Amino acid sequence: MSFVEYGDTIKDGDTAIVFLGHESMFPVKVQHGTVTQTKYGVIRHSTDLIGKKYGSKVTCSKGGWVFILHPTPELWTMNLPHRTQILYSTDISIITMMLELKPGSIVCESGTGSGSLSHALIRTVAPTGHLYTVEFHQQRAEKAREEFREHGVEHLVTVTNQDVCKNGFGVSNVADAVFLDIPSPWEAIGHAKSALKAEGGRICSFSPCIEQVQRTCLAMEEYGFTEINTLEILLRVYNVRTISLQIPDLGKAAEDNSSTGFDSSSPSHQASPCANLQQGTVQFKSGVPLREVVGHTGYLTFATKS
Amino acid sequence: AMEEARIREGDCAVLKRDEVFKAVSVLRRRKIIFEKQWFYLDNAIGHIYGTTFEVTSGGNLQPKQEVEETTTETKEAGTDNRNIVDDGKSQKLTHDDIKALKDKGIKGQEIVQQLIENSTTFRDKTEFAQDKYIKKKKKKYEAVITIVKPSTRILSTMYYAREPGKINHLRYDTLAQMLTLGNVHAGNKMIVMETCAGLVLGAVMERMGGYGSIIQMYPGGGPVRAATSCFGFPKAFFDKLHEFPLSKVQSLLAGTFTTELPAEPEENALVGGESNGLSEEKQQETEEEPAAEAPMDINTTEEQDTMDINAEDVEFKENKEKDNKENVREKQIKQWERRKKLKEAAALLGEKNADGLIVASKFHPTPLLLSLLEFVAPSRPFVVYCQYKEPLLECYTKLRERGGVINLKLSESWLRNYQVLPDRSHPKLTMSGGGGYLLSGITVLWEKGKPECTNSEALQMEEPSSKRCKLQDLPC
């Protein structure tokens, strides 16, 4: 297993995802002799995990079961230990496409943060591309290096511990794309420009506040970036539910009680046959939006160096 | 690498003017019509992608010089529009005057300057209004085009704006979600079923960079790859691209699928071997060819298609007239090769170990999913696009009944573009409708006929999850 290559069976040293249910999962480092506690009981790595196929159902000691999943950047994003606020897959997907990333791309990123985006970037540029990621917080930089090693992607990424606004990305004229997620991106636009290839490339900056965007756009214009475009992407998730709506009782017409306006032979009625149609229900499938959703993550500003 | 950055003859390129795109082949002495302008691309050859050109007389392109904006030295502007009256007479230049300027070959930049000078209200407009006026006129009179390298970003934006019907209204941010949710990357063995002109296939190919393999499932006579050809992929990318007809999926799953490979055709092959399968093969050929040589300009696709088909008709008749042994042999070789490829694709699918499934078609997703998921390995993502939500509701229910999938998610993405200018920042337009819906999930090992969801998922099916939903910690 690695985050850039699928494997079929679970091996010692792998990072696997223990899936307990919707939005209930966690990562686990597979190690001989180790046990993992879940609410359904214990999982013994040597017997329950190692050698089993990814996607297997594993029965825990108390009889409940979980699935063991192959790690992907998307599953990692949902389960990683937060050291900072992170970027989620919806933003990551549009960043990846708008930066035109593909195998072989050279990307610069700052800050590394918790490595949510980093894993997705590495996945996309592998096996011939490279990620140069800059994090000014020493402990975070070190933790990221450790994770990349554990996930089998260290050859695809260079973590530098410095201030991108002062010292840049540590490389020049090599990048196809630059991504910024820092509090004052406008201070790093010059460094971003020199990190990009002479023949051009793409840049993206993520900022939660419009004032940050404003200053970043001005800086981009100043440094000759073109195609400056700011957008925002939001995800709407729907729960699939079978809804039953009761038919109201409007009373009976004095003479004619067969014309209720509803077709009693409709399939939705077969589930609940009732003599008195007026007390029946109509069933249908609906995609129900979540009660509370993310309304804003950040603005994404894209531009081209040409 | 530098060479790749330059525009070369025979390249697939995209023309850009403001937000309008058009895909073209870079050919010498080929007249291009774009945004009411005509020109030749000859002079663009050798320049770096991303260069902006001006159209000069005779339809030649000339790299645009960066000019310092030297607009009216005395920057006069009003503060509000209380005294500006629309009498339709503020512009002193008449329609004919402007036409005369254009005919004289006066540069667009100068025409804009003249329009400003002859506008009686310009000086009374606010600074912002002046800005807006100049921008509008520039857009109309300055004939500049930028030549950019094709990419999923460019082509998906172009298709969504120009030909949404051909890609089932799949908006580019939705396509971006699909690539990420599907964990599409180098080395994968992907199954793609699309009727989006080959755009989704192209996007998957771009992300795989020629590493791994793709099996494209197609309805009818052959896969449509008009949009795929706009990407300008190297030939090697197509070596790992396989195709398999949807109509043979059931027989493949039932184990009744056969492609008896005839022995390699010999020199003196029999004449008149046109039996059962051959007529079908022929039809496949006519449908495949236009797709393979799909024209770059998507606006003329229809036209071009008919032209190609007519050309083939002629060829076909000629072949019949000749009807010599060589022709039959050629046909047999082609047929043999096609059978061989079909067998290879069937074998790849038969391994049932694909790393992902991407569906984006005009067909009902449920039967596609129920069948095609059989070919996918456990613990792999799948993503289905549908223009409408309702079929995905049904698909969700049927997948739950079938089992073997977890983490099912029905979603839609919203995209909002912003105008960011000093003191004039606001959202540009909402795109809430029309981007389509996605159903995604992960495959797991399961025993057939037993719906397999985890303990808590079983509960979740019945109980609304709103309680459980935690709001992500928000920035700022």
pLDDT tens, position by position, B429-443: 766 567 999 999 999
Tell me, yes or no, whether B127 and B178 share the same domain.
Answer: no
| DSSP string of B226-259, one letter each residue | HHHHHT---THHHHTEEEEEGGGHHHHHHT----
* pLDDT tens for each residue of A241-277: 999 999 998 988 876 555 555 554 444 444 444 444 5
- Inform me whether the pLDDT recorded for B54 exceeds 80: yes
Residue A267 in contact with partner chain B when CB distance is under 8 A: no
- Residue B141's SS3 state is helix
Peptide bond into A127 cis (omega under 30): yes
Last residue of one domain, picked from the residues B141, B172, B198: B141
Nearest CA in chain B to A59: B454
Q: In the numeric block, which tokens belong to residue B58?
A: 């005779």
- For residue B188, the chain A residues in CB contact (below 8 A) are 6
Residue B470, both tokens: 């935690």
The enclosing domain of B433 has a CATH number of 3.40.50.150
Domain match, B57 and B190 both: no
Query: Which of A67, A230, A287 has the CB atom closest to B418's CB atom?
Result: A230
Terminal Cα distance for chain A, rounded: 39
B378/A55 Cβ within 8 A: yes
| B-chain residue closest to A25, CA distance | B407
Whether A6 contacts chain B with CB within 8 A: yes
Do B122 and B37 share a structural domain?
Answer: no
d(CA B38, CA B294): 22
Task: Please report, in range form, the residues annotated as the binding site of A for S-adenosyl-L-methionine.
Answer: 114-117, 135, 163, 181
Residues B189 and B50 in one domain: no
* pLDDT recorded at residue B135: 81
Q: Which helix (H) or strand (E) holds B413?
A: strand B405-419
Q: How far apart are the first and last CA of chain B?
A: 41
Cβ neighbours of A73 in B, within 8 Å: 183
A290 to chain B: closest CA residue:
B466
Residue A208 with chain B: CB contacts under 8 Å = 474-476
* Shortest distance, CA A296 to any CA of chain B (angstroms): 8
Cβ atoms within 10 Å of A136's Cβ, excluding its own: 18
Which of A24, A97, A103 minimises the CB distance to B209?
A: A103
Whether residues B227 and B105 fall in one domain: no
- Mean pLDDT across chain B: 81
In the predicted structure, residue B151 carries a pLDDT above the cut 80: yes
Distance CA A294, CA B474 (A): 8
Computed from CA positions of residues A111, A114, A115, A116, in that sequence, does the dihedral angle turn out positive or negative? Answer: negative
On whether any CB of chain B is under 8 Å from the CB of A299, the answer is yes
Nearest CA in chain B to A90: B177
CB contact under 8 A, A96 and B176: yes
- Cβ distance of B380 and A6 shorter than 8 Å: yes
| One domain for residues B240 and B116 | no
User: Does the beta-carbon distance from B414 to A234 stay under 8 Å?
Assistant: yes
> Which of A154, A103, A124, A93 shows the shortest CA–CA distance to B153?
A93
Mean pLDDT within B12-24: 93
CA-angle at B350, arms to B347 and B356, nearest 5°: 110
The answer to the question of residue B301 being in a domain is no
Which among B66, B92, B118 is the end of a domain?
B66
Do residues B172 and B227 both lie within one domain?
yes
The token pair at B98 is: 């402007």
Task: Please say whether the beta carbons of B292 and B201 come within 8 A.
Answer: no
Is there a contact between B435 and B411 (Cβ–Cβ < 8 Å)? Answer: no
Residue of B nearest to A127 (CA): B186
Q: Which comes out higher in pLDDT, residue B295 or B373? A: B373
Q: Which residue of A has its CA nearest to B475?
A: A208
Element (H, E) at A146: helix A138-150
- Write down the pLDDT at residue B5: 87
**A266 Cβ contact list (under 8 Å, min separation 6):** none
Q: How many CB atoms lie within 10 A of CB A291?
A: 11
Residue B473 CB neighbour total at 10 angstroms: 8
Query: Is B11 within a domain?
Result: yes
Q: Which of B153, B452, B474 sits opposite A97 (nearest CB)?
A: B153
Cβ separation B454–A21 shorter than 8 A = yes
- Sign of torsion, CA B170 B173 B176 B180? negative
Q: Is residue B292 part of a domain?
A: no
- Residue B303 — pLDDT band, cuts 50, 70, 90? very low
> Is the minimum CB–CB distance between A4 and chain B shorter than 8 Å?
yes
- Rounded to whole angstroms, the Cα distance separating B184 from B354 reads 12
Min Cα–Cα distance to chain B from A139, Å = 22
Interchain pair A285, B471: CB under 8 A: no
Q: Residues of chain A with pLDDT > 90: what percent?
A: 84
Are residues B196 and B137 part of one domain? no
Task: Report pLDDT for B285.
Answer: 40
Share of chain B above pLDDT 90, in %: 53
Distance from CA of A141 to the nearest CA of B (A): 21
Q: Is the dihedral of CA B54, B55, B57, B58 positive or negative?
A: positive
Which of A 22-81 lie inside 8 A of B, CB atoms? 22-24, 40, 53-57, 64-70, 72-74
Q: Which of B207, B381, B425 sits opposite A214 (nearest CB)?
A: B425
Q: Which domains does chain A have, with CATH numbers?
A: 9-71 (3.10.330.20), 75-230+298-305 (3.40.50.150)
Pair (B225, B355) in one structural domain: yes
Check if A302 contacts B (Cβ < 8 Å): no
Contact B455 A88 (CB under 8 A): no
Q: What tokens were used for B443? A: 């495959």
Q: Is A227 exposed, middle or buried (0-12, 13-18, 19+ CB in 10 A)?
A: middle
Chain A residues touching B202 at Cβ < 8 A: none
Quick one: which of A65, A89, A81 has its CA closest to A26?
Answer: A81
Cα A263 to Cα B278: distance, rounded to the nearest angstrom: 51
Band (A22; pLDDT cuts 50, 70, 90): confident
Give the residue among B144, B150, B147 at the shortest CA–CA distance from B46: B147
Residue B193 lies in a domain: yes
In this prediction, residue B322 carries a pLDDT of 58
Give mean pLDDT, residues B392-411: 96
Q: Residue B25: inside a domain, yes or no? A: yes
Tell me, yes or no, whether B242 and B354 share the same domain: yes
Q: Do A53 and B409 touch (CB under 8 A)?
A: no
Q: Are B134 and B169 contained in the same domain? A: no
Number of structural domains chain B divides into: 3
Print burial letters for B42-57: b (CB count within 10 Å at least 16), e (below 16): ebbbebbbbbbbbbee
Q: Assess if residue B457 is contained within a domain.
A: no
| In a domain? residue B47 | yes
Same domain as B224, residue B357: yes
pLDDT of residue B296: 47
Q: Which residues pair with A109 in a beta bridge?
A: A133, A179
The answer on pLDDT for B169 being more than 80 is yes
Quickly state the pLDDT bin for B134 (edges 50, 70, 90): confident
User: Number of Cβ pairs closer than 8 Å across A and B?
Assistant: 236
- Tell me, yes or no, whether B228 lies in a domain: yes
Closest residue in chain A to residue B353, using alpha carbons only: A8
Which residue of chain B comes nearest to A304, CA vs CA?
A: B50
Residue A57 has its nearest CB partner, among B415, B452, B476, at B452
All residues at 6 or more sequence positions from B274 whose CB lies less than 8 Å from its CB, including other chains: none
Q: Report the range of poorest mean pLDDT among B7-11, B286-290, B335-339.
A: B286-290
Range of the domain at B131: 100-141
Global confidence as pTM: 0.85
The domain that contains B55 carries what CATH number? 3.10.330
